[in-house]
Amino acid sequence: MGWEGFRQCPGCGFDLATGDGERGCSWGECPYLPEQLDVFCPNCRFNFLTMEGNSQCGRPGVCEHSDEARSNVANLRTWLEVNPRVAP
């Protein structure tokens, strides 16, 4: 199964776009999230979808630690269009 077919666990309120919400498990982050949907810098957790967070390097647009996270933004946008959040 590729990232296109990823489904969150039933009852999980974790918002993949913002990193907020009530999780359906005790994990801090989704342990099943495909790496192609991860838009957070692995070093400082800056969110490249929302462009929010405290970038440790001060250069989130060119940070050498986050090339993959920046490239995943298009994937997550596509996934969110197909899998819209349902308000509780």
**Does residue 75 surpass a pLDDT of 80?**
yes
Q: Which residue has better confidence, 25 or 35?
A: 35
pTM: predicted TM-score of the whole model, two decimal places: 0.84
- pLDDT tens by residue, 3-22: 999 998 888 888 888 888 88
Mean pLDDT, to the nearest integer, of 11-39? 87
How remote is the C-alpha of 15 from its chain's centroid? 8
**Does residue 37 surpass a pLDDT of 90?**
yes
**Does residue 45 surpass a pLDDT of 70?**
yes
- Averaged pLDDT score across all residues of the chain: 86
Tokens matching residue 82: 């197909």
Alpha helix positions (H), the chain: 67-71, 73-82
